[in-house]
Amino acid sequence: MVHNFNSGPSVLPKEVFEEASRAILDFNGTGLSILEIGHRTSLFQGVLDEAINTARELMKLDAEHEILFLHGGASTQFFQIPMNLLADKGMAAYLDCGTWGKKAIKEAKLYGQVEVVASSKDRNYCYIPKGYAIPAGATYFHYTTNNTIEGTQMHSIPETSVPLVADMSSDILSREMDFNKFALIYAGAQKNMGAAGVNMVIVRKDMLGKTGRPLPTMMDYQEHIANGSLLNTPPVFAVYVCMLTLRWLKQQGGVGAIEKINEKKAALLYDTLDSLPIFRPTVDKEDRSLMNVVWVMDEPELEKEFLAVCKENGMVGIKGHRSVGGFRASLYNALHMESVELLTELMKEFALKKA
């Protein structure tokens, strides 16, 4: 049996794979594959409508927020957001707490002034900055809710009157929060929400059309809203897998129910790491991610040996990101508790042998 701890594309529910597999051969008894249905037909419109309505229900979004399914992934949003929101003479505030925030800052500087309110680069992004001030005159404040590579997570929403923009790619729908507090949310689907190839953007309509900047049609959120995410051919299959995954999450009891399971998975793994001196977690305890758990070993040879043991036991995706090394276990919504239990038993056995 394979236990998938990959950081993304990542584990999805078995039920989703099964339904998607059937749809590739025959979508809903139509005799057509989901891969060949017209994107402007009622067949796909039903898929898109269910995906949008289920996301709205799970997140308890109000009518002022529009939900879009777009091409390009979260990295496209690094420049599409300031292109749509930030005027040439405007200023946006950014928090630098990891690789993806750093990339977002670089792209935003192409469209206006960027003020980095705080950074955790001084300690290799192993913590979330605290006590910073968000300038009242900022057009928006951008931050990454969960840092996939570094294993840190923001555990509360910043209190500010400045509109909030959040990259939720690696923890969206993993925990309850007031999503209506955000002016814009974006997330690549391939971690908690579906297959690679589509990006969900949730935007409050009153944020748009204020830059005075002419926009390429395909980059304009207002055009996408007016066309219901059908401005051009969408990634049909990726949207379909999102719909199935959102449907699955609703069947599990919603975001609150899955949050309790995620907390248990993370607690078990962190408790195990903290109890075994052979392993060393790298993130400050108060900022540890419930989605991406990272750790190292002080002896490089033991790291290689432990990775080999993981491979032998079907533990996939445990190797840490190339920029930080060590190990990373991603505990996304669809990962079963059993996989975490087996990993922690393996860690205990390995530590005992090396004691």
Instruction: Cite the active site residues.
Output: 100, 167, 191
| CA 197/CA 187 separation, integer angstroms | 11
Rounded to the nearest 5°, which phi and psi values hold at 183?
-80, -30
Q: Which of 288, 323, 24 is nearest to 149 (CA)?
A: 323
Calculate Rg over the CA atoms of the chain.
Answer: 21
In sign, the C-alpha dihedral spanning 32, 35, 40, 43 is positive
| CA 144/CA 168 separation, integer angstroms | 6
| CA 239/CA 70 separation, integer angstroms | 9
| CA 254/CA 58 separation, integer angstroms | 6
Rounded (5°) CA angle 158-144-13: 115
Angle between helices 337-354 and 255-275 (to 10 degrees): 0
Q: Which of 9, 6, 8 is nearest to 316 (CA)?
A: 6
Q: DSSP secondary structure string, 117-178?
A: EEE-GGGTT-S---S----TT-S-EEEESEETTTTEE--S----SSPEEEE-TTTTTSS---
Q: Which residues pair with 327 in a beta bridge?
A: 295, 319
Rounded (5°) CA angle 285-12-180: 60
